[in-house]
Amino acid sequence: MTLVTRNKVKLVLALFIACGVVHLAIDKGQSIYENFDRISSYLDDDPLDSVLQNTATHPPENSASHFTLSQFPSEAPNIHTETESMFNVTVSDEDEWMNQSYPFTLQNPKLEVCPLTPPGLVGPIRVFMDSPSMDALQKLYPYLERGGHGQPEECRSRHRVAIVVPYRDRDSHLRILLHNLHSFLTKQQLDYAIIIVEQIANQTFNRAKLMNVGFAEGMKLYPWECFIFHDVDLLPEDDRNLYSCPTIPRHMSVAIDKFNYKLPYTAIFGGISAMTVQQLRSINGFSNRYWGWGGEDDDLADRENVFCFCSSMQQELNKYITLCGITRIRTGFKPV
């Protein structure tokens, strides 16, 4: 074999290997991006464990996966013994709920409790950036009850969660959020509803007051166990970011793209936060005195710090894409 022939053979082999590597990279990258047929993971330690450790549950008493408050961080105060009893549901509790009339349909208490970890989670997910019309959203999610109430049919959800979204004049953002959240929350087997609280008066936006209204009106709709207060322009990027009921107040939006996935300051509690009904009542909700963007979240963090109970999620899971490219000016004032 001549030298020229050998060089041609080497060149063909090199091209063949290079094409194989490129094909493998494309195939691997596409499957990771779409997350349709493989579960993604990060390192040896599963970051989902830290989420579950700040999750209140109410499985059957003989369940091996029952988490109790004593398993969670010691800084959680003892004043929340009522919260523990709220999540350890008994038959009498459910009988009481069944005897009340709510606009939304209660789940059948005879259903088997859903798994502690929802089985359909894949990790990083595709974020929908299109904004379907409201009619299109109804066709995309026909299983939702009138009013945006969703619940699993195959099992009894561990969490009854109201998502409160303060809103005004951001129609496309709202439709994008609904498109993402309904598919996201359904995979987590939550008994949930998304409550949009719209300010219609021609005055400065008051986010805190809208969230208080969302809590007060939401409690008339269903026996919610916890509330998640959610900005309209934040979209979750990982479905292991569980929108579950926390044992202690949880700041969820700890890694946002416009902040390079870092907290702008340590004590922040804005964007998305989760609290149980009892926790909200113990701190008397949000202050109504903050008009404009900013201030109300810091005030809420101060109220929680008085009781020494707050937590932040892992940045690895709690990543969000923001729809708003405009930096909001913090115009709130500290009440005297």
DSSP states of 185-250 as a string? Answer: HHHTT-EEEEEEEE--SSS---HHHHHHHHHHHHTTTS--SEEEEE-TTEEESBTTS--PPPSS-E
Which of residues 186 and 280 earns the better pLDDT score? 186
Token couple for 139: 């066709």
Mean pLDDT of 63-76: 31
Mean pLDDT of 191-206: 90
Q: Which of these, 180, 219, 116, lies nearest to 323 by C-alpha position?
A: 180
What interhelical angle do 207-218 and 296-306 show, nearest 10? 60
Are the CB atoms for 272 and 319 separated by under 8 Å? no
88-92, 122-126, 308-312: least confident range? 88-92
Model confidence at 84: pLDDT above 60: no
Q: Which H/E stretch holds residue 286? A: none
Measured CA to CA, the distance from residue 163 to residue 323 in angstroms comes to: 18
Model confidence at 16: pLDDT above 90: no
Q: Could you identify the residue written with the tokens 């194989």?
A: 20
**Alpha helices by DSSP H, the chain:** 3-34, 48-52, 81-87, 91-98, 134-140, 171-187, 207-218, 277-282, 296-306
**Summary mean pLDDT of the chain:** 72
Q: Which of these, 280, 219, 223, 218, lies nearest to 249 by C-alpha position?
A: 280
Are the CB atoms for 222 and 193 separated by under 8 Å? yes
Quote the pLDDT of residue 125.
93
85 pLDDT band, cuts 50/70/90, is very low
Domains and CATH numbers, the chain: 35-322 (3.90.550.10)
**Any idea what the Cα angle at residue 261 is, between residues 208 and 191, rounded to 5°?**
55
Model confidence at 307: pLDDT above 80: no
Measured CA to CA, the distance from residue 99 to residue 23 in angstroms comes to: 60
- The percentage of residues in the chain with a pLDDT greater than 90, rounded to a whole number, is 39
326 alpha-carbon distance from chain centroid: 23
Which of residues 331 and 152 earns the better pLDDT score? 152
Quote the pLDDT of residue 186.
96
Q: What are phi and psi of 3, to 5 degrees?
A: -65, -40
Model confidence at 251: pLDDT above 80: yes
Which of residues 285 and 60 earns the better pLDDT score? 285
Which of residues 171 and 333 earns the better pLDDT score? 171
Measured CA to CA, the distance from residue 85 to residue 93 in angstroms comes to: 10
Q: Could you identify the residue written with the tokens 């953002």?
A: 173
pTM: 0.66
Model confidence at 92: pLDDT above 50: no
Quote the pLDDT of residue 286.
79
Sheet containing 319-322, strands listed edge to edge, beginning at the edge strand earlier in sequence: 234-236, 319-322, 255-256
Quote the pLDDT of residue 164.
96
Model confidence at 295: pLDDT above 90: no
50 pLDDT band, cuts 50/70/90, is low
Quote the pLDDT of residue 189.
97
20-34, 143-157, 217-231: least confident range? 20-34
Measured CA to CA, the distance from residue 20 to residue 33 in angstroms comes to: 20
Quote the pLDDT of residue 33.
38
Q: Which H/E stretch holds residue 72? A: none
223 pLDDT band, cuts 50/70/90, is very high
Quote the pLDDT of residue 256.
84
Report helix, strand or coil for 124. Answer: strand
